[in-house]
Structure 1
Amino acid sequence: MSAVLKVEGVGKAYRTYHRELHRVLSWFGWRVKPKAEVWVLQDINFEVQAGEAVGIIGQNGAGKSTLLKIITGTLKASAGHVEVQGKIAAILELGMGFHPDLTGRQNAYHAASLLGYTTEQITAIIEEIKEFAEIGDYFDHPVRTYSSGMQMRVAFAVATAYRPEILIVDEALSVGDAYFQHKCFSLIRDFQAQGTSLLFVSHDSASIQSLCNRAVLLHKGKLLKVGAPQQIIDLYNASLADPDLKHTRLSGDANGGGIRSGTGEALIDTVRLLDAQEQPLDTVATGEPVKLCIVIDVHKAIDELVCGFVIRDRAGNWIFGINSKDYGKDLAGLQPGQKLVLSFGFDLNLGEGTYSVSVALTRSHRSHVEKNYDWLDLAHVFKVVNVHKKHFAGLAWLDAHVELTSLSDGPNKTLDHVNP
């Protein structure tokens, strides 16, 4: 598999000079010492293979948008270089390049021409662009009358009118309605199946996990790690509570290990899934009653502790999460040396597949950012098999009941006439 995108040693610095003449001379290759220099990107290296989808994750200010602008050529790198094979279609800042006084149709012609298409090529597909955007007569109204969602619809329709070798999407889809987001993701998957590579920037972990083969984590302008989407998202979540990553580490092997973070006042000692006889489980039957037992070691005095867990599917999507506070179990006034055992009992009504458990010890029952004592991803991994239930599809067993009623009063009988 060949790389369609290579980012090698890319950096971006913003400089101020003692004189404007010095800035101009720097444009022509003169070595002029700047008055001040701020690097927003440093030594970024990664590749994207043909047909691969790579997510880019990072906190605000990490350099994500700057990197994408360098890749698309709208911004010049201060160091390193980018190699691109094939045509890039990018949806970066919402409505970028759209003139508010021009209609959607006129802006579509203008934006598509900037992508390198001829007037004849654009005319051949302009009605398809209008149809995909689904904004009706507004397509021929000035863009200044559009909502942000309508602008995104037109921008996406233009960028994907012809299948590019590389598609870059930067948060723009977040402003769209749910229906159009699904429509866009469906088209993106079709493009991927045909060989298009995707570079996708989003804070939506479910979208990253659903679309991407790998993910890149940018942290304070530097590339922190490249790896599997779930691992990178876990590391990103840890960075929210630990901005300098002083208390964050990788547990397990480099390819599939979980992320552990926290300040350590209390630590997760053991996580076990038990059956009704208190025996450890690695394989569970759908609907089987289980107990998730979490052993906690207290190392420093803590005024309040909340213990929570979340079950995730193989792709990393959150299936179910709850914490001790939600059940009214107050863990307060804890002292060093205490060992606590917290048990959550429930019927495991999940579909067949492999699942993992993440456990957190925090001060808040709504966020781990405020105070994270210990957070452990992949604390336990288990498999679910369907032994006793009817065959069903999906991630949840809902124990449906079926009734059949004959509508025998004629062809115009409707469900409104059926008593529940």
Structure 2
Amino acid sequence: MTHIFVSGVGKAYKIYQRKVHRLIEWMVPGTKAKHTLKWILKDISFEINEGEAVGIIGINGAGKSTLLKLITGTAKPTSGSIDIAGRVAAMLELGMGFHADFTGRQNVFMSGQLLGLSIEQINTLMPEIESFAEIGDYIDQPVRVYSSGMQVRLAFSVATAIRPDILIIDEALSVGDAYFQHKSFERIREFRRRGTTLLLVSHDKQAIQSICDRAILLNKGEIAMEGEPESVMDYYNALLADKEKKSIKLSSNDGKLATLSGTGEAAISDIKLLNAEGASIETLHVGQSVTLKISVIVNETIDELVVGYAIKDRLGQPVFGTNTYHMKKVLNNVLAGRKVEYEFTFDANLGIGSYSLAVALHSSDSHVARNYEWRDLALVFTVVNSGKQSFIGVAWIPPQLEIKGEQ
């Protein structure tokens, strides 16, 4: 039975006023302690059972990364005990375990063996690792020439090449580009559906609330609160107070490889997001009028063709979706060889952030009946706010305000 049991764990580091004091302690057994203890963690206790997803949050310096190092065995606790059952895959630091002078492929073999995989297993998994990482020819280049995003791609691909019993992730994914964040979170969700136990450390409020069953808030090395993610996040926001700084970060989504499924009776030949002038765009403004253009080619004669799309936030949560069935624009008896272009025009009343588009070709009201092609991450785009009043959330719904009453 997979589990993580943390009982009364504390971690302290010795602080010496002078270097010679450390030497005296080593050389003279039984001498009076020449150090003081700085406690990073104090009396941490919690349990994570099989299939649970738990998020750990807290401001910088709260002890989150130290706790993960203790759980994964890269550091030893000063007090208390930790019991783990199950195969663990962990991403604690960017490129952790990678040798800068070795190629990506060589590091895959080293990291894979550290995870308990055999050479034969790694050879079998290598094509899938390369495909998921999407770093191309860089796989045979030294890691020292990699960008931080490329290191994350390869490290995550190796750590998740085989579904682990326990997956532990620190903030490493936050440095990846928007496209790979969408892709990696989708893999995490798939592991969750298949029973993987998840321990996630993140400052991302939406990630904690959308993925985790419980959240643990660390503050000054102690557990300040544990419970439902929403209530824990509310308390965390109160602790942050003035410390939170809002900013807009634009990430290029290199390698727009979509996940495909379906019969192939109809296929998507092109997808574009266009502005009012008809130019293709990847960054748009809150409320901007845009057109989603989907080009379809019919490979075999089909009775019914429905085209739909869904806008998802960075974590894969649906924001809005529709299809031509619900819009009463279904095409019937579509002959093989026919090419059709669909243009969905709408105002992007979305909050600032990164979004993806999933596109589907199917019959009936959903792809469950007959799926010709389903493409996740068909497009990744970023919404910025350059002219609207400040607001929060994933939707731009400006109200009309009237204030009544006498002075």
Q: TM-score, normalised by structure 1?
A: 0.57
Question: How many Å separate the matches in 2 of 1:25 and 1:222?
Answer: 35
The answer for the alignment partner of 2:189 in structure 1 is 189
Describe the SS at the equivalent of 2:13. strand
The answer for the alignment partner of 2:22 in structure 1 is 20
C-alpha contact (below 8 Å) 1:25/1:32 kept by paired residues: no
Give the 4+ runs in structure 1 shifted more than 2 A: 16-26, 30-34, 394-398, 400-405, 411-417
The answer for the alignment partner of 1:155 in structure 2 is 155
Question: How many Å separate the matches in 1 of 2:329 and 2:166?
Answer: 51
Describe the SS at the equivalent of 1:163. coil
The answer for the alignment partner of 1:350 in structure 2 is none
Q: Which residue identity lines up with residue 5 of structure 1 in the other structure? A: I
1:310-347: per-residue Cα shift (whole Å, max 9, x none)?
xxxxxxxxxxxxxxxxxxxxxxxxxxxxxxxxxxxxxx
Q: Which residue identity lines up with residue 6 of structure 1 in the other structure? A: F
The answer for the alignment partner of 1:50 in structure 2 is 50
1:112-137: per-residue Cα shift (whole Å, max 9, x none)?
11112222221221121111101111
Question: How many Å separate the matches in 2 of 1:206 and 1:126?
Answer: 32
C-alpha contact (below 8 Å) 1:56/1:216 kept by paired residues: yes
Q: Which residue identity lines up with residue 106 of structure 1 in the other structure? A: Q
- What residue ranges of structure 2 are gaps of 5+ in the alignment? 244-317, 332-336, 347-407
Describe the SS at the equivalent of 2:102. coil
Alignment of 1:223-302 (within 5 A): 223-241=223-241
Shift of 1:41: 0.6
1:93-123: per-residue Cα shift (whole Å, max 9, x none)?
1111111111111111111111122222212
Question: How many Å separate the matches in 1 of 2:120 and 2:228?
Answer: 42
The answer for the alignment partner of 1:132 in structure 2 is 132
C-alpha contact (below 8 Å) 1:3/1:47 kept by paired residues: no
Q: Which residue identity lines up with residue 86 of structure 2 in the other structure? A: G
Question: How many Å separate the matches in 1 of 2:129 and 2:342?
Answer: 41
The answer for the alignment partner of 2:255 in structure 1 is none
Question: How many Å separate the matches in 1 of 2:31 and 2:234?
Answer: 43
Q: Which residue identity lines up with residue 20 of structure 1 in the other structure? A: R
Aligned residue-pair number: 263
1:175-202: per-residue Cα shift (whole Å, max 9, x none)?
1122211211111112112221000011
Q: Which residue identity lines up with residue 122 of structure 1 in the other structure? A: I
The answer for the alignment partner of 1:214 in structure 2 is 214
- What residue ranges of structure 1 are gaps of 5+ in the alignment? 244-393, 406-410
| Alignment CA distance shift 1:234-1:414 (3 Å) | same
Describe the SS at the equivalent of 1:67. helix
Highest CA radius of gyration, 1 or 2? 1
Alignment of 1:320-331 (within 5 A): none
The answer for the alignment partner of 2:90 in structure 1 is 90
Question: How many Å separate the matches in 1 of 2:76 and 2:59?
Answer: 22
C-alpha contact (below 8 Å) 2:9/2:43 kept by paired residues: yes
Over the aligned positions, Cα root-mean-square deviation in angstroms equals 3.3
1:231-283: per-residue Cα shift (whole Å, max 9, x none)?
1111111001289xxxxxxxxxxxxxxxxxxxxxxxxxxxxxxxxxxxxxxxx
| Alignment CA distance shift 1:61-1:211 (3 Å) | same
Describe the SS at the equivalent of 2:198. strand
The answer for the alignment partner of 2:109 in structure 1 is 109
Percent identity over the alignment is 54
The answer for the alignment partner of 2:3 in structure 1 is 4
Question: How many Å separate the matches in 2 of 1:13 and 1:31?
Answer: 20
Q: TM-score, normalised by structure 2?
A: 0.58
Question: How many Å separate the matches in 1 of 2:127 and 2:39?
Answer: 44
Shift of 1:416: 10
Describe the SS at the equivalent of 1:90. strand
Question: How many Å separate the matches in 1 of 2:321 and 2:110?
Answer: 51
The answer for the alignment partner of 2:361 in structure 1 is none
1:175 aligns with 2:209: no
The answer for the alignment partner of 1:317 in structure 2 is none
1:118 aligns with 2:135: no
C-alpha contact (below 8 Å) 2:15/2:38 kept by paired residues: no
C-alpha contact (below 8 Å) 1:22/1:32 kept by paired residues: no
